[in-house]
Structures are given as structure tokens and as C-alpha cells.
Amino acid sequence: MTQTTRAAVTVRPATPADAGAVRGVGLSAWRATYTALVGAEAVERFIGLAYTPERIASRIERDLMFVAAYPGGDPSGVDAFIEVIEEVDRPHIVAFYARPESRGRGLGTALLAEIVAAFPGRDISADVLEGNDLGEPFYVARGFEPGEQIIEDIAGEPIRERRWWLRADRAGAAG
């Protein structure tokens, strides 16, 4: 993978040196996005497990992760990230977050375009917490279709998610 720049947004593969910045994005995005939906205690329990420095470093090594930045953004050089695992039948977006103050700058669109390019001709899925008023419209605007409902456990709290699908024949709408 090579470094890509789109409309002043820079996207590149994450490296182990990005672990602290990715963690910072995850912490701020989780707190801002999910506290009202699942409660502060569940959010803190989840990020306490999923966003340790060691866990983030392991995820960067194991999964496909890209980071994005824009001029004048966070001093760490990471304003957003996307993480994908390759399931047997499709790539699946497992984490996709931007710093709250960085939203609306094209970071998500640029990151998603990088994933579509990395998996040409493949359907792509993502699970989104129902009621996520940021995530659901983002996916709809980029050609994803709602799919099956899933019950997940987030730090001991059952939550309802919707699996969203970007079908290979609609992938052009993502960019």
C-alpha cells in the first residue's frame, strides 16, 4: 500500500508508531459517540479493554489499518483511522473512527475509498450500533445497504447493531 492524498486529506497504512495516536482517536470517538447510547460505564469498560496501547499495537500488526490526517489537524498526525479484518467471504470494517473535532473534513470518505481500492470487486461489511446518528447516515450516503440485525456484547451490555453492506457493484458510490 502506498500513501494517498485526497482533497488535502492524507491516508496511509498505520504503523506501530501510530498506536498512541490511534488509541487517542478511539478513546475520544467512543466517548463522544456511544456514551448516550450505551452509558458511560459500558464505554469506559470497553475502551479499557479494547484500546490499551498493547492491544492497539497488536491490531495494527495483525489487521489492515489506515490512518488519515488533514493539514492543521491533531499534532499526532492521526485524525481518523479505519481497521478491517478479512473474513472468509468478505472484508469487514471492525473500527472506523475520527476525532470528534475532525469530523466532516472528508477523512472517513478518504479512508473508505482506500478500503474499497484494497478489495476490488468484493462486498464489504460494517456493523453499526443502532441509533448511531453519525455512522448510519455516513454509510447510507456512500452506498451501503442495511442488512441483518446483530446482538453484540459491549463490556457486559447487550447492544443491537445493524450489519451494513457495500455491494461490489455499488462500491463506486463509496468514493
Q: How much is the pLDDT for 172?
A: 58
**Please, which residues have CB within 8 angstroms of residue 29's CB and are 6 or more apart in sequence?**
97, 98, 99, 100
Range of the domain at 139: 4-174
Q: Rounded to an integer, what distance in angstroms lies between the CA atom of residue 141 and that of residue 89?
A: 24
Helix axes 19-38, 53-62, angle to 10 degrees: 110
Q: How many domains does one find in the chain?
A: 1
pLDDT tens string for the chain (175 positions)? 445 544 589 999 999 999 999 999 999 999 998 888 888 988 898 899 889 999 999 999 999 999 999 988 888 889 999 999 999 999 999 999 999 998 888 999 999 999 999 999 999 999 998 888 888 999 999 999 999 998 887 766 777 889 999 998 866 555 5
| CATH code: domain of residue 120 | 3.40.630.30
Task: Report pTM.
Answer: 0.88
Coil vs helix vs strand at 152: strand
Q: Are 36 and 88 in contact (CB under 8 A)?
A: no
